[in-house]
Amino acid sequence: MLLTVLVSVAFLRFVIAQDTSIATVKRAFEKAKLPQALGLEFNPKCLLEVVFHTNVLKAPIPVTAGMTIFKNDTTIRPTFSLAFPNHRNVDTLEASKVFGRGPFVICMLDPDAPTPQNTTLGPVRHFLATDFYINPDASGFQLVNKTPAINNWNPPNPTKGVDAHRYAIFLFKQPPQFDGQSLINATTPIIRWNISQFVNSTGLGQPIGGTFMMIAPVAPAFDFVISLLV
């Protein structure tokens, strides 16, 4: 009985629809002061859908811009998809006419390191990968890549006892010359990443989509109980 209740609660915890409005996402970014914190212009052209997959006892966690997620739910790299709120029934071919099939660049960074009150180490780069393409075999517009990430997924890790951090995930159209960039590699320091300078120097331009999460350091007690049962 206890297990049934716990599983039900775990599944209900994130019964949240993904973003359906570009304007709403843009307002959420502005309210969180992310564009000014990162020195970016954020005028999204599509929705970036991000879904975390934890364990079999939990439903997938779709990200809504500004929602709170606990760090233990973000240990595995999420899946990424494009969404077109004004074109819900378009097929992959039609989508490619708007944005192309790819390639795209995706990154995640934390401007609130080590704490939101003391950001001397931020922004911290937690993920940077190139060569994402719309997968024609997937339902919807899932983005997949088959090349190694420049920076592998480094899960969010806010310190216990601090306020939740803002973690922003951005989608860029990848310019032809981007694979030749030499500013960042697997050994480049991830702290104090000037993403504004990076996008200008590499010709990456401004993001075409994005979302963000508030990552809290401690999960509810039932998550701990569930972790003991799986």
Q: Is the dihedral of CA 22, 33, 157, 181 positive or negative?
A: positive
User: Do the beta carbons of residue 43 and residue 62 sit within 8 Å?
Assistant: no
CB atoms within 10 A of CB 94: 11
The answer to whether 22 touches 46, Cβ cutoff 8 Å, is: yes
- pLDDT tens-digit map of 120-155: 999 999 999 999 998 876 666 899 998 999 999 999
User: pLDDT by residue (tens digit) across 55-76?
Assistant: 666 789 999 999 999 999 999 9
Please tell me the pTM assigned to this model: 0.85
Report percent pLDDT > 70 for the chain: 78
CA-CA-CA-CA torsion for 68, 29, 104, 195, nearest 10 degrees? -100
**How far is residue 88's CA from residue 47's CA, in Å, rounded to a whole number?**
12
Distance CA 204, CA 103 (A): 12
Taken in order of first residue, the domains within the chain and their CATH numbers are 2-229 (3.90.280.10)
CB atoms within 10 A of CB 118: 11
